[in-house]
Structure 1
Amino acid sequence: MSSSSSVDSVPPPPDNAIVLGCGGIAVDFLATVDSYPEPDDKIRSTSLKVQGGGNAANALTCAARLGLNSRLISKVANDSQGKGMLEELEADGVDTSFLVVSKKGNSPFTYIIVDNQTKTRTCIHTPGDPPMLPTELSQSSMFSALDRASIVYFDVRLHETALMIAKEASRKKIPILVDTEKKRDGLDELLQFADYVVCSAKFPQTWTEVSSTPGALVSMLLRLPKLKFVIVTLGEEGCLMVQRASTAEVFESQETDIESLLETLKHRKDSTTTFPTCVSSETTKLRANGVGTVTGRLFLGTAEKIRPEELVDTTGAGDAFIGAVLYAICAGMPPEKMLPFAAQVAGCSCRAMGARTGLPHRADPRLVPFLV
């Protein structure tokens, strides 16, 4: 199939869908090594790549390549790295007109060591200086950024500015997605505004102090009454999602132990396919012992099985997953379609060095089945 006919076969993205993101932006210095060094070692990199990074910037780049109109609020310095980041974002179609550019200081940057042996990455981040202050984003600029926005996304960096935007977005009834990698300043306040949360593997248990991941997800929904769903990404193990039932769906039913239900879903998943899949429960009262119950559905999503020779770098997999979830929400995808789609986008990103190199465009043949 020619590339032109491939593009023609893909339906257009959601009409005028706009995602506004506020959070991290950086320059990534990615050094690949044969194996992670021991203390006091001197080693050589086998390759070096310099490109834009930062959670929010990566996720919005992903969303833009998938067809959403992406706007970013963040801060860079007026240095060569800052200018390079803006050019890179603009080339991908991300609107950078709301970024604050400091006349002095340094732009944020991250050293990333990619271990070829274990296929892991270690990040050493240096924040931008001077840090962003909420007063640097004028009220008129914030209103313009929120104008006609379909969804707002926060990675919990720049938390004071994020909270100011979240309050206004909530007042305008614009849905909010929060990406929770770990506990950060301002996180608890920001989570109170969240309609959707995507977590890293360890976060739910750390934040709720509940011993199991499924139980921790129930706890999050109980503690955050506005939350419609919570997803925890588990790397090559895929992801788990609990979706709260709408008021119309709540009915008298037996309680189901969420741990037992997860085991049932694990037996139902297709372990033979390399493509991402999803299995789900019916709407039921999900019980977590010692935590409580929430009426909703449990989803188990699998990751793409990538051949070892194709797996290059997992640096941006989480950001790619979130960019795809942002697209899926705007497109009205059901969870059964959203989770495999996001896993496929994340899988594509792992096949190239850096967080952005492998991010697919919406005409990518691997994505077309999810979009038609």
Structure 2
Amino acid sequence: MLVAEDGKTPFTYIIVDNQTKTRTCIHTPGYPPMSPEELTKENLSAALDGADIVYFDVRLHDTALVVAQEASQRKIPILIDAEKKREGLAELLNFASYVVCSTKFPQAWTGASSIPVALVSMLSRLPLIKFVIVTLGEKGCLMLERSMIDAFEAEEIDVEALLDSLEKKVEQSSHTPNCITSKVEQSSHTPNCITSKANLRISADGVGSISGRLLLGAAEVIPPDELIDTTGAGDAFIGAVLYGLCTSMPPERMLPFAAQVAGCGCRGLGARSSLPCRTDPRLADY
């Protein structure tokens, strides 16, 4: 959007340990940071004209908030990458349509006793959010999706009990990503997924309840000799979620798709070298 004369681009050195499959990131921030005053109506409009969705990682929060307010006025959906608690995150979340969280964020932000309870708390606090996803590394991901129609007379079930029932149905032996949802019913049209046609009233003690579905996505099982570098796996997952939203993928198809893209990215050194093209045979089912 803007180029700072004599500015410095942010960059990161990433050290990968081949034996432990761990990485260390040494980050140098960019300078100077973009300020809200630098955003003109003209370049803000140029950036948002024709946009299907707006994505924030909550850096430069003051400037991001200006963009979020304009996107909200234009009714452009907003996805927030909530990796950790950052300054300005609470304000941005009020504009979010979708949230993708790291494993620790939901409990850190809500103070809830468990991840599933924290997801109910987030949807209760943030009425504009359509779904929240928490990534769980090699364990996959968990999504709580809000129903657009309140199911006040529907069956009510505790979210932790619901998650426990889903975990018992996960195909642990599957080498391809799969997904199961609450109120399961087999679907022959969705690869590697059992899907639902009904919503539940999902509750959590001391938090409240929401109408919707809980979806549990299993990650791809990557053989140790194929796992090269996990750098950027979370970003690859989010990028695939954004693609899924822009192409109207249903969640039960989008979650395995995003897991597959992230799994591909772990098979090469660096965050980009092994990302798949849309025509990659491994994505043919999606």
**TM-score bin, normalised by smaller chain:** over 0.9
Give the CA deviation at 1:369: 1.1
Write out per-residue CA displacement over residues 200-229 of structure 1, whole angstroms, 9 at most, x where no aligned residue: 110000000102000000000011010000
Matched, 1:252 2:153: yes
In the alignment, which of 219, 222, 227 is matched to residue 303 of structure 1? 219
Residue identity over aligned pairs, in percent, reads 63
Aligned position for 1:280 = 181
TM-score between the two structures when normalised by the length of structure 2: 0.92
The residue type equivalent to 2:70 in the other structure is E
In the alignment, which of 266, 270, 274 is matched to residue 358 of structure 1? 274
The correspondence of residues 124-273 of structure 1 with structure 2, limited to 5 A, is 124-247=26-149, 250-273=151-174
The residue type equivalent to 1:250 in the other structure is A
Structure 2 gap ranges (5+): 184-198
TM-score between the two structures when normalised by the length of structure 1: 0.71
Of structures 1 and 2, the larger Rg is shown by 1
Give the CA deviation at 1:135: 2.2
Give 3-state SS (helix, strand or coil) of 2:163's partner. Answer: helix
Aligned position for 1:114 = 16
Higher relative contact order (CA 8 A, sep 6+): 1
Write out per-residue CA displacement over residues 144-167 of structure 1, whole angstroms, 9 at most, x where no aligned residue: 111111111111112111110100
The farther-off stretch of 183-192 and 253-262 is 253-262
Matched, 1:321 2:222: no
The residue type equivalent to 2:246 in the other structure is C
Give 3-state SS (helix, strand or coil) of 2:62's partner. Answer: helix
Alpha-carbon distance in structure 2 between the residues aligned to 1:319 and 1:280: 24
Write out per-residue CA displacement over residues 284-328 of structure 1, whole angstroms, 9 at most, x where no aligned residue: 111112211111100000000001111111110010001100011
- RMSD over equivalenced CA pairs, Å: 1.1
Aligned position for 2:188 = none
* Deviant stretches of 4+, over 6 Å: none
The residue type equivalent to 1:351 in the other structure is R
Write out per-residue CA displacement over residues 51-79 of structure 1, whole angstroms, 9 at most, x where no aligned residue: xxxxxxxxxxxxxxxxxxxxxxxxxxxxx
Give 3-state SS (helix, strand or coil) of 2:20's partner. Answer: coil
